[in-house]
Structure 1
């Protein structure tokens, strides 16, 4: 009967397993295989079961390997923080507010739009805004979201008697219209605090998309 396992003395080949067997009131110590150094150090041996040394646990005599350190389990704490959204305060200049108010006065497919120059009733293709010029005149402008700048024909500027400026304009500055022709930008003009690029006139007096004025819709105006 095997009652326990204890370590033997150290030798030149390593530790020795000593097993105590008891029976009939007597006991004797039986020397077994020496403990495998690789198994003792690393818990594994490349020779496996064919190893001539013992792969045995000291406590219970099983081949479970050396005792392994306990695994620490980390706990994760999740906390929620309630954040109340704050609306950013938007401040706009009086000039921006004035432009926004004009954009709100949109005439969509209205056949009774009054032209500032000819004073005749004509229908513009697409949504328009009305820009007051004073003395009872109203300039209708087409809203074009595909334009990068505001444009007006040189012939219309001449008929309106508007003062132009050459700031930011060079001889190489040209614009390709939606229907294909290329027009040179000859000046800039301010109409009711809105800046337009003046395009060189052609056969068609309505140089931009078949209308007299082409206006870009800015994102800041759409926030109103």
Structure 2
């Protein structure tokens, strides 16, 4: 099976000033592309015919090259869609997800603080996540490198991710240098809550993994 980099759902400059144009070009066209190239090489070398969801689910059995690059491809394919230009999405979650956040975290502000803390305190490179875990409960977690919460046995909390934030330095260093907290604070302005709500309603709330083409 051959994998490819999905096109961005907006222009490179669409997330300015919060995520700058040069970062988007390098992040999408170079970093994501490298994960896909290396993943294709790895699956060919190992004669692996699994689709991407299966690769992520079985990452612990497939070796470092497929685990790291498969995770990188899956994470980024969702990440681009989890952001949107200002004014094109609701600024907060709505509907059932909004109610569930209040139920499981106490309030949206409490959730946001917990997620931000997970992102800031992730040592080195990795991701912060909101997902649906055991018994349908929402939870926040962070993972190292290109791991994600679907990688059962490899992460602290197994859950279906519906929102993720890349805190690798390549996601923010050109604009924010070492100021990760500033990057995270500004990133909240471009979260595509309409897409996150869709991921919850259509997939995660039903115990289904979000496909990368959704």
Tell me, yes or no, whether TM beats 0.5: no
Name which one, 1 or 2, has greater alpha-carbon Rg.
1
Higher relative contact order (CA 8 A, sep 6+): 2
Identify the structure with the greater strand proportion. Answer: 1
Q: Sort the TM-score into its range (normalised by shorter chain).
A: under 0.3
TM superposition score normalised by structure 2? 0.23
